[in-house]
Amino acid sequence: MFKIKTLNNISDSCREILRSEDYIVGDNVTDPDAIFVRASDMHGYPFNEELLCIGRAGIGVNTIPYEECIEKGIVVFNTPGGNANGVKELFLFGLCMASRDIFDAVKWVYTYDDSEGPVEERMEKIKKQFAGPEYAGKTLGVIGTGNVGSIVANAGLACDMKVYGYDPYLSVESAWKISQRVFRVKNLDDLLKYSDYITLHVPLKEDTYHMIDEAAIAKMKNDVRIINYARGAVVDEDAIIKALNSGKVARYVSDFPTRRLIETKNVVLTPHLGGTTVEAEANCARMAAQEIDDYLRNGNIRNSVNLPDLSLERSGEARICLIHRNLPGVLADIMPIFAKDRINVENMTNKSRGNYAYSVFDVNSDVDETAIRELEEIEGMIRVRVLEH
C-alpha cells in the first residue's frame, strides 16, 4: 500500500484513481511515497528519503524546487491542460474588462448616492464615462500558445478578432489545437507592434521573467490593453505602472494583485482565480492522480518537469527503474551487473532530458539486494527502484 500526503485541499476526483484499498491519502500522512500539492510553496520542504514523486494539480511549478528534487530521485509532475478551459473563460471576462470600464461602472452603481437623484435618471447622464472600444475587428496578440494559449487564440477568432500567436517552444500537440486562421509570428516584436490587445500565457522561467518590460511596452501601440493570466512576474510591475500612468497602456487586467497595482488607475485585478472552477480543479486532481498512480505502480512517467516522458508496457517478472545522470557509459555499466547476477532482460527503454536520464528494464528473474547495491554504486546513479509484478 502506498502513502500519499496532501498539502492542500485536493478535489475528491483524485479518489477515483487513488482508491482506499491501494492508497492511504491525507494531510497527516508521514514518510509518504508521494505528495499531492496544489498551491503550497515547497521550497525548503523537508523531503523524506522514501518520497518518490510529487504531483502538482496545476501547471505552474515555480513553488516546487524540482531541480533539487531530481538530485534526490524525486519525479515532479504537473497537469498541463487540466485547467485550460477555466483560464480561457476567465480570459473572456478579462477581454471585456480590458475594453469597457465595467469595473468602475459596477462600483458606481453599488455606491450610488440617491441625493444626486434617481439612479435611473442619473445613469443616462454619466454612462459615457465608462465607454470603451469593441474588440471585434481588433488584433489580439497571444504570447504562449500551449494548452491554454491555443484555445484562447481560438476564442479570439470566435470574437471576430484578428489573432497573432507567438510561441518559440510550440509543441506539435499544441499546434494541432490552434486554428489555421491564427497568424503565427516568429518575432515577438511583430506581435507587440500590431496588437490592440495582448494576452500572456507563458510559464515563469528565466527567459520569461519581466518579458513585458519598458522596452517591450515601447514597441506596442498606444492605448494597448494587456491581460496577464500567466504569472505576475512575467510583467515588470514598475514598467506597467509607468505605462498606465502615462496613458501608453489603456488598461491592465491581471490575476496577480499587489498593493501597488491595487492603487494604480486603469487596473483590474482578480485574486489568482485562473483555473479556479469546480471542473478545472477536478480535472487537475484526476490527472495528477493518474500520473502518480502510473509512476508508483509501473514506473511510467508522463508530464514530468524534471525527467523525460517514458512509458513501457509491463512484461516479465520484475521492473527495474533507474534515475541517473546523463553520462556516457552508464548503460554499459548496467549490463555487466545483469549478466553477472543472471538477470535476463526481456524489454527495456531509456530516455534523457538535459543532464538526467531514466532507464527502465523488464526482467524475467528475481532482483536481489546484491544487484540493487551494485546498481546504486554506478557513477551517476541517483535512484534504483524494483517493482515486482
* Alpha helices for the chain (secondary structure H): 66-71, 84-99, 102-110, 119-126, 147-158, 172-175, 188-194, 214-218, 237-246, 259-262, 278-298, 330-340, 369-376
Residues 183 and 264 in one domain: yes
- Residue 241 sits in which domain range? 84-95+134-269
Q: Which of 29-38, 44-53, 173-182, 214-223 has the lowest mean pLDDT?
A: 173-182
Residues 231 and 175 in one domain: yes
Tens of pLDDT, residues 108-139? 999 998 888 899 989 999 999 999 999 999 99
Mean pLDDT of 377-388: 96
Q: Greater confidence, 325 or 175?
A: 325
Binned at pLDDT 50, 70 and 90, residue 69 comes out as very high
User: Looking at the domain assignment, is residue 113 inside a domain?
Assistant: no
Question: Inter-axis angle of helices 147-158 and 84-99, to 10 degrees?
Answer: 50
Listing DSSP states for 11-54 in one string gives -GGGGGTS-TTTEEEETT--S-SEEEESS---TT----TT--EE
**Does residue 338 contact residue 327 with C-beta atoms inside 8 Å?**
no
Mean pLDDT of 14-40: 92
User: Looking at the domain assignment, is residue 196 inside a domain?
Assistant: yes
pLDDT the model gives residue 163: 97
- Which of 269, 292, 318 represents a domain boundary (last residue)? 269
Listed ranges 126-130, 195-199, 339-343; the one with the highest mean pLDDT: 195-199
Mean pLDDT of 18-31: 92
Mean pLDDT of 270-278: 90
Tens of pLDDT, residues 202-239? 988 889 999 999 999 999 999 999 999 999 999 999 99
Look up the CATH number of the domain holding residue 345. Answer: 3.30.70.260
pLDDT the model gives residue 174: 66
Amino acid present at 303:
N
pLDDT the model gives residue 92: 96
Tally of domains within the chain:
3
Residues 148 and 264 in one domain: yes
Residues 89 and 226 in one domain: yes
Residues 147 and 260 in one domain: yes
pLDDT the model gives residue 173: 66
User: Looking at the domain assignment, is residue 120 inside a domain?
Assistant: no
pLDDT the model gives residue 177: 77
Residues 140 and 257 in one domain: yes
Residues 51 and 147 in one domain: no
Residues 236 and 259 in one domain: yes
Cα(6)–Cα(29) distance, integer angstroms: 8
Look up the CATH number of the domain holding residue 56. Answer: 3.40.50.720
Mean pLDDT of 177-182: 90
Residues 205 and 76 in one domain: no
Among candidate residues 64, 72, 76, 15, the one with its CA nearest the CA of residue 40: 64
Grid look-up 523488464 returns 362
Amino acid present at 5:
K
User: Looking at the domain assignment, is residue 327 inside a domain?
Assistant: yes
Residues 246 and 356 in one domain: no
Q: Whole-number mean pLDDT of the chain? A: 94
Residues 314 and 381 in one domain: yes
Residues 71 and 26 in one domain: yes
Cα(26)–Cα(5) distance, integer angstroms: 5
Q: What is the pTM of this model?
A: 0.82
